[in-house]
Amino acid sequence: MHNNPSDLIVVDQLSKYYRVANKQPGFKGTLKHFFDRKTYDVPAVTDISFKISPGEVVGFLGANGAGKTTLLKMMCGLIHPSTGLVDVGGFSPQRRQTAFLKEITLVMGQKQQLIWDLPPMDSLYVNAAVYGLSDHEAKVRINELAEMLELGEELTRPVRKLSLGQRMKSEILAALLHKPSVLFLDEPTLGLDVNAQARVRSFLSEYNKRTGATILLTSHYMADITALCPRVICIHKGKLFYDGDLDSLANSLSPSREVKVELKNQCANEQFEKYGEIQDLNDRFVCLLVSRDKLTDVVSNLLTDFDIIDLEISDPPIDQLIGELFIKGEVN
């Protein structure tokens, strides 16, 4: 893969295999394995290649076990690849050079770095010392991030007394204290309620706009992806099978639009069969799936043929489309 100087991250034919013992159960199997050890390789990621430019916000999509987290960990140096190359800002991540570590951060929704019995503020100043920030620099940076994250006195309470949302925002603050230029975020809103998720998404969007930081995000919440990521990379069984615009992906997956109609009077099911595929019909409410090329004619005919109170046109839910994509494992 040819490297363009403008590419911040280059992943070239990256693979990761885990060697697993091929052992039969029970004492006999253990004894046999002791004298005649056999193993086999389990692929986690296979021959993945892509490039990411500075300032991009990219979402990684895939079912559980698809290889998203493994890929993210190889890009930040926590896991060594079996084959292939990774370059992040001119650094080889697995070498874990100090200059590289100062440019990146990793936030994992199910892991924490803050000390449970201490206030976040204490951990923040420890982090600042680790990264060589002066007390003044640390104070300015903490205040700036705390304002963006809507954190105040929460930073002076023990971590164990904070809500999950407050803890997550404090974790993000700690991870960004050294002004990283690349953010690796693995399920950053995991377990948060809807309001907390929205606040974290709003912060990340604002942080990207203010600093130009590059953000790589995995999430099972499609709202995270649709709100933050114009570009998505889809992984299926360890292999890359889509890399491009989220809107283009949705269009390729769904050549149809949803037409929801509220009628003045109740109508029979068979009256709507000629307009499109009936998704739902309940009393005076009808939901149709209509191909995009017939949409204008169908809407015009509906307005002519029925007494309509309200009509709404939308794309099918993206999470539904992505779910079907995972099941099929292909893009048309």
Pick from 250, 284, 305: which residue ends a domain?
250
For the residues 311-316, what does the mean pLDDT come to?
79
Q: Does 264 lie in the same domain as 244?
A: no
pTM for this entry: 0.79
Pick from 203, 224, 250: which residue ends a domain?
250
Q: Does 61 lie in the same domain as 149?
A: yes
For the residues 237-258, what does the mean pLDDT come to?
82
Asked if residue 329 has pLDDT above 60, the reply is: no
- Give just the sign of the alpha carbon dihedral 138, 144, 148, 154: positive
- At 224-234, the pLDDT tens digits run 888 999 999 99
- At 43-54, the pLDDT tens digits run 999 999 999 999
128-134: list long-range contacts, CB under 8 Å, 24+ apart. Answer: 128/177, 128/178, 131/102, 131/177, 131/178, 133/177, 133/178
In angstroms, the CA 245 to CA 233 distance is 9
Angle at 99 between CA 94 and CA 101, to 5 degrees: 55
- Per-residue b/e over 108-117, b at no fewer than 16 CB within 10 Å? bbeeeebeee
Q: Does 244 lie in the same domain as 287?
A: no
Q: Evaluate whether residue 14 is within a structural domain.
A: no
In angstroms, the CA 91 to CA 10 distance is 10
Q: Where are the beta strands (DSSP E) in 25-157?
A: 39-52, 57-61, 83-88, 104-108
Q: Evaluate whether residue 243 is within a structural domain.
A: yes
Pick from 196, 231, 250: which residue ends a domain?
250
Q: Does 166 lie in the same domain as 299?
A: no
Q: Does 244 lie in the same domain as 100?
A: yes
Query: Who's near 329: CB < 8 A, 6+ residues apart?
Result: 236, 237, 241
CATH number at residue 106: 3.40.50.300
pLDDT for res 317: 64
Q: Evaluate whether residue 71 is within a structural domain.
A: yes
Q: Which of 131, 10, 21 is nearest to 74 (CA)?
A: 10
Two tokens at 329?
């494992």
Give the confidence band of 328 by pLDDT, cuts at 50, 70, 90: low
Q: The domain containing residue 230 runs over which residues?
A: 52-250
In angstroms, the CA 219 to CA 46 distance is 21
What burial class does residue 235 get, using C-beta atoms within 10 Å of its C-beta: 0-12 exposed, 13-18 middle, 19+ buried? buried
Helices 135-149 and 164-176 sit at what angle, rounded to 10 degrees? Answer: 140
Q: Does 308 lie in the same domain as 184?
A: no
Q: Does 98 lie in the same domain as 237?
A: yes
In angstroms, the CA 279 to CA 285 distance is 11
Distances (CA, A) of 124 to 174, 211, 303: 6, 20, 61
- Give just the sign of the alpha carbon dihedral 243, 248, 254, 259: positive
CATH number at residue 306: 3.30.70.980
Q: Does 241 lie in the same domain as 169?
A: yes
Asked if residue 212 has pLDDT above 70, the reply is: yes
Total domains in the chain come to 2
Task: Say whether 202 sits in a helix, a strand or coil.
Answer: helix
- At 267-309, the pLDDT tens digits run 777 788 888 888 888 888 888 888 878 888 989 988 988 888 8
Q: Does 241 lie in the same domain as 135?
A: yes
pLDDT for res 318: 65
Q: Does 115 lie in the same domain as 88?
A: yes
In angstroms, the CA 174 to CA 190 distance is 17
Q: Which of 128, 129, 161, 162 is nearest to 145 (CA)?
A: 128
Q: Does 98 lie in the same domain as 59?
A: yes
In sequence order, which ranges of 235-317 are alpha helices (DSSP H)?
A: 246-253, 295-305
Q: Does 231 lie in the same domain as 146?
A: yes
pLDDT for res 325: 67
- At 137-192, the pLDDT tens digits run 999 999 999 999 999 999 999 999 999 889 999 999 999 999 999 999 999 988 88
